[in-house]
């Protein structure tokens, strides 16, 4: 990696921005690339630096974006003579470049993802335990409450008396856990569900959670697809009793969501890919392994701006909005007959097909 790549990577890391470093580690001539050549690939597909010519670069960018999506590094072997594409037993991904004039490139692709943001509303014992556990697990923790003090939350990088969470860092996609135990639950949840949060959860009993959910439905005007994203009570059912055990159950659920393993809708903003859906036929067209026709409303999604994604039977589908994605996840089989047709039949009369989130 050359000096300019190091400097640029450090700059992006400091700013908390995701990126991928691609480095040429081996070549077999003829090829214009040299070992040590490197570049930085951004989430929008642009690249800074140089890792190969017009044939190699699009392939590297594609694989870099896949690496950003799954968080896993990979070693690519690009060659004209590779018999078939796929991942070898040793972890190397073989790729064919049909327009390549000859030679072979091996390129290491390493994603750099910023630490996830954990926002906690409240100063209860559960909030304190979650802040400590989250910070110890590598999350960037912020605590919000009118009476919060930095001394009470030594592991948090930010402790704020702010309660208008909708206006805090508007470009951020935090994992929000509301643990005020009734003091300002509703206000915090309404703000979280209106922004592009990666997770919104409430620490409460099932009875209390139902009351809060009904209040949000009656008083805030939030769409049903947003309300469906609320995780209440928050956390996995581990039989937790103490504050520390409850915090552990919540953090475990956050890890599920972050890694795309959560069997529920927990993202009113950026998509969380859901695993384990029942099988069904695939749709066309597929670009870079993503179906770009929304199976709910039939709209074609722009690959460059697609952010509402869900996995079903090994295929990733893009949706025009979180509303379509939510409905698909609930009953995928209802929408896989033909794009935009079965979804209409499954919709209650008078209800919108989707809500622009």
pLDDT in tens, 247-276: 999 999 999 888 777 877 544 554 333 333
- Residues 58 and 189 occupy one common structural domain: no
- Residues 89 and 204 occupy one common structural domain: no
Domain membership flag for residue 143: yes
- Residues 296 and 326 occupy one common structural domain: yes
- Residues 139 and 206 occupy one common structural domain: yes
Q: From first to last of its 357 residues, what are the pLDDT tens digits of the chain?
A: 556 888 999 999 888 889 999 999 888 776 666 888 899 999 998 999 887 777 778 888 889 998 887 788 999 988 876 555 556 656 688 877 665 556 788 899 999 988 899 999 999 999 999 999 999 999 999 999 999 999 999 999 999 999 999 999 988 889 999 999 988 999 999 999 999 899 999 999 999 999 999 999 988 888 888 888 899 999 999 999 999 999 999 999 999 888 777 877 544 554 333 333 333 333 333 345 678 888 888 888 877 666 567 878 778 888 876 567 778 888 888 888 644 443 333 333 333 333 333
- Residues 102 and 124 occupy one common structural domain: no
Residue by residue, what is the 3-state secondary structure of the chain? CCHHHHHHHHHHHHCCCCEEEEEEEEEECCCCCCCCCEEEECCCCCEEECCCCCCHHHHHHHHHHHHHHHCCCEEEEEECCCCCCEECCCCEEEEECCCCCCCEEEEEEEEECCCCEEEEECCCHHHHHHHHHHHHCCCEEEEECCCCCHHHCCCCCEEECCCCHHHCCCCCCCEEEECCCCCCHHHHHHHHHHCCCCEEEECCCHHHHHHHHHHHHHHCCCCHHHHHCEECCCCCCCCCCCHHHHHHHHHHHHHHHHCCCCCCCCCCCCCCCCCCCCCCCCCCCEECCEECECCCCCCECCCCCCCEEEEECCEEEEECCHHHHHHHHHCHHHHCCCCCCHHHHHCCCCCCCCCCC
- Residues 95 and 142 occupy one common structural domain: no
Domain membership flag for residue 198: yes
Contact 118, 234 (CB under 8 A): no
- Residues 69 and 183 occupy one common structural domain: no
- Residues 81 and 125 occupy one common structural domain: no
Domain membership flag for residue 292: yes
CATH assignment at residue 203: 3.40.50.720
Of the residues 112, 141, 159, which one is the last residue of a structural domain? 112
- Residues 135 and 86 occupy one common structural domain: no
Domain membership flag for residue 314: yes
Domain membership flag for residue 23: yes
- Residues 121 and 254 occupy one common structural domain: yes
Contact 310, 295 (CB under 8 A): no
Cβ partners under 8 Å of residue 153, min gap 6: 128, 131, 132, 141, 143, 159
Domain membership flag for residue 331: yes
Domain coverage including residue 13:
3-112
Of the residues 112, 127, 146, which one is the last residue of a structural domain? 112
The domain tally of the chain equals 3
Per-residue model confidence (pLDDT) at position 84: 55
Of the residues 82, 112, 142, which one is the last residue of a structural domain? 112
pLDDT in tens, 97-138: 665 556 788 899 999 988 899 999 999 999 999 999 999 999
Domain membership flag for residue 239: yes
- Residues 133 and 236 occupy one common structural domain: yes
- Residues 134 and 190 occupy one common structural domain: yes
Task: Kindly report the backbone phi and psi dihedral angles of residue 286, in degrees, each rounded to the nearest multiple of 5, phi listed first.
Answer: -120, 125
Domain membership flag for residue 178: yes
């Amino acid at each position: 990696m050359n000096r300019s790549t190091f400097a640029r990577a450090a700059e992006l890391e400091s700013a908390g921005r995701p990126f991928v470093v691609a480095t040429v580690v081996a070549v077999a001539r003829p090829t214009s690339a040299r070992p040590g050549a490197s570049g930085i690939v951004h989430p929008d597909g642009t690249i800074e630096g140089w890792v190969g010519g017009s044939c190699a670069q699009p392939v590297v960018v594609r694989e870099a974006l896949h690496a950003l999506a799954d968080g896993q590094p990979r070693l690519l072997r690009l060659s004209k003579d590779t018999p078939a594409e796929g991942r070898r037993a040793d972890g190397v991904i073989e790729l064919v470049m049909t327009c390549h004039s000859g030679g072979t490139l091996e390129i290491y692709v390493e994603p750099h993802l910023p630490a996830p943001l954990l926002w906690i509303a409240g100063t209860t014992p559960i909030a304190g335990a979650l802040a400590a556990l989250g910070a110890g697990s590598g999350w960037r923790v912020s605590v919000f409450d009118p009476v919060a003090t930095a001394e009470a939350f030594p592991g948090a990088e930010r402790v704020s008396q702010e309660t208008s969470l909708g206006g805090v860092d508007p470009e951020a996609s935090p994992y929000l856990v509301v643990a005020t135990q009734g003091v300002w639950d509703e206000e915090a949840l309404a703000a979280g569900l209106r922004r592009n949060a990666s997770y919104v959860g409430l620490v409460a009993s099932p009875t209390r959670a139902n009351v809060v959910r009904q209040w949000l439905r009656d008083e805030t005007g939030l769409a049903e697809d947003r309300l469906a994203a609320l995780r209440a009570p928050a956390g996995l059912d581990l039989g937790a009793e103490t504050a520390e055990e409850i915090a552990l159950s919540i953090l475990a659920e956050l890890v599920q969501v972050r890694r795309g393993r959560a069997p529920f809708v927990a993202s009113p903003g950026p998509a969380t890919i859901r695993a384990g859906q029942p099988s069904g036929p695939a749709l066309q067209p597929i670009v870079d392994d993503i179906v770009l026709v929304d199976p709910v409303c039939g709209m074609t999604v722009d690959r460059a701006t697609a952010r509402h994604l869900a996995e079903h039977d090994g295929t990733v589908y893009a949706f025009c909005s979180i509303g379509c994605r939510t409905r698909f996840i609930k009953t995928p089989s209802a929408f896989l007959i033909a794009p935009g047709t079965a979804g209409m039949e499954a919709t209650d009369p008078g209800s919108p097909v989707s809500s622009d989130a």
